[in-house]
Structure 1
Amino acid sequence: MTAGIDRFIRLDEVLHITGLGRNTIYRRIREGTFPRQVRIGPNSVAWRQSAIAKWMFDLSPEGEG
């Protein structure tokens, strides 16, 4: 991501971007293998787009090593 620019994305977009299911995402959060969500309101959570992008890059062959 470019410095200083980030956005919050909600669960539906995280599901679409990653191709993972809801249960898989929450299981991986518990296991510590997926970025944790950020509370953005009393009843709202979201993920930082940069955290999801980094997680995806780290899984790719370019991100290894």
Structure 2
Amino acid sequence: MGDSKDEWLNVREVMDLVGLGRTSIYALMEQDEFPGSIRVGAKSVVWRLYEIELWMNQKICERTR
């Protein structure tokens, strides 16, 4: 996929990228502190890479304040 704004990640890829476990990711989502997932099947969800990258950049900016 050419443009990262269009790339989708499954939960394992998100976990590897951000260094958090599944439980932590879903807990942050419940608190509206992590990008929401997109349901693509009965038991399948994905996240947009672009939104995950924005979240990570926000965390970096918060660290440097």
Percent of residue pairs identical: 33
Q: Which residue of 2 aligns with 1:55?
A: 55
Per the normalisation by structure 2, the TM-score is 0.81
Per the normalisation by structure 1, the TM-score is 0.81
Partners of 2:29 and 2:7 lie apart in 1 by 20
User: Hey, which bits of structure 1, 4+ residues long, moved more than 2 A?
Assistant: 2-5
Listed as ranges, the matches of 1:17-56 within 5 Å are: 17-56=17-56
Q: 1:16 to 1:3 in 2, by over 3 A?
A: closer
Shift of 1:4: 7.8
Kindly tell me the number of residue pairs found equivalent between the two proteins: 63
